[in-house]
Chains A and B, each alone.
Chain A
Amino acid sequence: MNFDINSTPLDLTGEKYKDVPYEEKVRLMNEVKEDVRFHDVLYGCYECGVCVAACPSARFYDFSPRVIAQAMAREDAELVYTLMNDSIWDCSQCFSCDRCPRGNSPGGLITLMREVAVKNGLETAKEALEGYGRIIYKIMSTGTQVSPDMLQPNAFPDWGHHVNEIADNLDLWRRALPPETLHTVETGWSVSEKTIIELYLIWHMTGVMDMIKEIDEGLFMILQDVMEERLEDAGYDVTFDE
């Protein structure tokens, strides 16, 4: 069996992004460093490789949490830019790398880098997140989990051929779940009015909606539609900036 699902090696030569001005790369790196959480995720790195040994993504991709910590510690803006485009989306954010003897959190560092990539609308971030639009829509509009009908064979081909069989009988599979999981979507996944209104307000006030607007305008538009209407019904006069 071949587990080499992404055989494209990471290009560390800097050649790929040589046309992007150095100042822009520095600007993005500094945006990561200026995050208040930055000092809690990176102290220093002596390249022991414990993080890489623990990292599941490192087994399958040309990906290394150590390289990311190193690049940021050395303030190598060129390398940070390459990683911010072509490496950070290979991380599964499992935080196995948090076992670092220096107390670094490469996974936490990647969280910050991803946020900067999204806020600045990097094309690679758009590509990486393209397939998640519907998941974000479901979670953010309903305030709960993804919908059971998401298990479609053409959505997750990497799940293997048996996904066809499961997708065909999805309703039956759900009915077969133990009763304590409340196997109907309506009761098990219902969210109270108070909660959903709070969630919408939090996403509005914390800038989450602004981030989405930067990355997927269509998604922003339909979420805005759903949220504004419901907030208005609840007596809030909130408009999401156009």
Chain B
Amino acid sequence: MSDVGIVRGCKIPKDLYYSVDDHTWVRLNDDGTVTVGMTDVAQNLAGPVLHAKVKKVGLTRAKGKPIGTVESAKWVGPIKTPVSGEIVAVNEKLADDPQLLNRDPYGEGWVVKMKPTNWDEEVQELQTGEEAVQKYQEKVEREDIKACEHVE
């Protein structure tokens, strides 16, 4: 894996694009699709995930709309897509093992793959690399978000 930034113990891989305010990440794949998921900070805030319901393949979603719902013991909320597009694949494993979101938020815990419809424009509003780490650092400090604990 490439370079990983650390913000209060939470991992922020620098090769991904982030919507920091929505706690989501995007990976640009070779075939032009993107993979979307929740960040390490998000899974830590939610706590152990009990249910993850992901939208269906074929659905077109505008940026900011829910592509899934996550429930932990105390919290429920949407995973908002950071890019507009059509859902071309969903992570079926999350239905049986939602805590993949906690254990491996940037890998096995991916949420959907999408065919973006407005990538060139929307990528401008996302952060990547050192800038993403910096912006996350500011958010975590401003909102006093608790530190990540990883049980390996």
Contact = CB atoms under 8 A, between A and B. Distances in A.
Interface of A: 131, 133-134, 137, 149-150, 152-155, 218-219, 221-222, 225
B50 A133 contact: no
Main secondary structure of the interface of B (DSSP, over half): strand
A210 to B, nearest CB: 18
Nearest to A156: B73
B5 interface: no
A116 to B, nearest CB: 25
Interface stretch (B30-38, B74-82, B114-122): B74-82
B73 A152 contact: yes
A221 B80 CA distance: 10
Contacts of B71: 134, 137
29 contacts: A133-B74, A133-B75, A133-B76, A133-B77, A134-B71, A134-B73, A134-B74, A134-B76, A137-B71, A137-B76, A149-B50, A152-B48, A152-B50, A153-B73, A154-B47, A154-B48, A154-B73, A218-B76, A218-B78, A219-B76, A219-B77, A221-B65, A221-B66, A221-B78, A221-B80, A222-B69, A222-B77, A225-B66, A225-B78
A225 B66 CA distance: 8
Interface of B: 47-48, 50, 65-66, 69, 71-78, 80
Given A149-B50, A221-B66, A225-B66, A154 B74 contact: yes
Contacts of B50: 149, 152
Nearest to B22: A218
Contacts, number: 43
A134 B80 CA distance: 17
Contact of A218 (B47, B73, B77): B77
Contacts of A218: 76-78
Contacts of A153: 73
A219 B74 CA distance: 13
Contacts of A221: 65-66, 78, 80
A219 B78 CA distance: 7
A150 B73 contact: yes
Given A218-B78, A222-B77, 9 more contacts: A134-B73, A134-B76, A150-B73, A152-B50, A153-B73, A154-B47, A218-B77, A221-B65, A222-B76
Contacts of A137: 71, 76
Contacts of B69: 222, 225
A221 B47 CA distance: 21
Contacts of A219: 76-77
A59 to B, nearest CB: 26
A221 B70 CA distance: 12
Contacts of B65: 221
A134 B74 CA distance: 6
Contacts of B72: 134
Nearest to A155: B73
A146 to B, nearest CB: 12
A222 B79 CA distance: 9
A131 B75 CA distance: 7
B74 A131 contact: yes
B150 to A, nearest CB: 17
A155 B75 CA distance: 9
A137 B73 CA distance: 12
